[in-house]
Amino acid sequence: MDWFSGFEPICQTDVPLAELTWYRLGGPARWLLTPRDEDELAAVLRRAHEHGVRWRVLGRGANLLVRDTGFDGAVIVLSHVYWEHVDFEPPLVHARAGVDLPRLVRSTLDRGLLGLEGLAGIPGTVGGATRMNAGGRHGALADHLRAVRFARSDGTLVNRPAAELAFGYRTSGLGDAVVVQITLELEPGDREPAMERFRAIWNEKYSTQPPVAARSAGCVFKNPPGHAAGRLLDEAGLKGQRHGGAEISSRHANFIIAHPGATSQDVLDLIALAKERVHRATGIELELEVEVW
């Protein structure tokens, strides 16, 4: 019996992952499952747990590099319409894990619910953004988070106040739990000044970062305490450095762009080279911000 027996209607095998990521790089997933609600998600996790099957959750693939060999396990995608539901109960907003983050930001602002405008220009799903506390210099998702409903890796469903989940700089205490739904607490207020702030942040990114159409996964490294990774990489002379089809952006040194013909290995080699150079120049050990599968 296959480990996914009974889940055939939502399970595909050997599914290319490249087209599901912003980088458009990397090999296939051995299995890809699309659970249709939280109970089905919990059942899939329980089964994977019982059979010792490795799994990952894929959101928009905006912060992800899949290796050329792909992922030899189960990739779970919360793409069913069930996962796109948002409930407005001002000042609370309940959003399921598959909701598109940029759309959520816009729809809260449209309703005069303020707080998320600092997340302007950040791609991804609510689930992915929560798990890694997506954000930038203008705030992070957890700043407005009140509670999270998630499935543990053994398939149990639980609700927790955000305060108990150890959110930090691009991290959370969610570990390998899967976000099901989040509850945000926003501030009812004046829409126009918030839209103004949203547009200003968007324009700032537009002018300092590579275009969204460029194949990248955003910032590659975390900012080490007291430093900007982009500046360290820039000062190490890495802008424009190429390896195969991968190139360190000349616009912002913490972005690695994939050109046509690039492989994941090109990006990984360039990451290693950049780390090495910064370490040699400064003694600082850069840590990855992008996820690598």
The footprint of ligand EPU (CB under 6 A) covers 136-138, 205, 208, 218-219, 222-223, 228-231, 234, 252-254, 289
User: Can you tell me whether residue 158 is helix, strand or coil?
Assistant: strand
DSSP state of 9: G
Q: Which is nearer to ligand EPU, 70 or 230 (CB)?
A: 230
CA dist 230 and 224 (Å) reads 10
Q: Which is nearer to ligand EPU, 84 or 291 (CB)?
A: 291
The distance of closest approach from Cβ of residue 129 to ligand EPU in the complex, given in angstroms and rounded to an integer, is 10
User: Can you tell me whether residue 205 is helix, strand or coil?
Assistant: helix
- What are the φ and ψ backbone dihedral angles of 112, each rounded to 5 degrees? 70, 30
Structure tokens, 122? 């950040």
Task: Round the CA-based radius of gyration of the chain to a whole number and report it.
Answer: 19
Does residue 187 contact residue 114 with C-beta atoms inside 8 Å?
A: yes
The distance of closest approach from Cβ of residue 118 to ligand EPU in the complex, given in angstroms and rounded to an integer, is 8
- What are the φ and ψ backbone dihedral angles of 281, each rounded to 5 degrees? -80, -30
Picking from 77, 32, 7, 43, the residue whose alpha carbon sits closest to that of residue 154 is: 43
The distance of closest approach from Cβ of residue 137 to ligand EPU in the complex, given in angstroms and rounded to an integer, is 4
Structure tokens, 129? 């953004």
Q: Which is nearer to ligand EPU, 15 or 66 (CB)?
A: 66
The distance of closest approach from Cβ of residue 44 to ligand EPU in the complex, given in angstroms and rounded to an integer, is 29
Q: Which is nearer to ligand EPU, 99 or 233 (CB)?
A: 233
Query: Residue 6: how many CB atoms within 10 A of its CB?
Result: 12
Does residue 150 contact residue 160 with C-beta atoms inside 8 Å?
A: yes
User: Can you tell me whether residue 71 is helix, strand or coil?
Assistant: strand
The distance of closest approach from Cβ of residue 239 to ligand EPU in the complex, given in angstroms and rounded to an integer, is 6
Q: Which is nearer to ligand EPU, 234 or 269 (CB)?
A: 234
The distance of closest approach from Cβ of residue 126 to ligand EPU in the complex, given in angstroms and rounded to an integer, is 16
Q: Which is nearer to ligand EPU, 108 or 249 (CB)?
A: 249
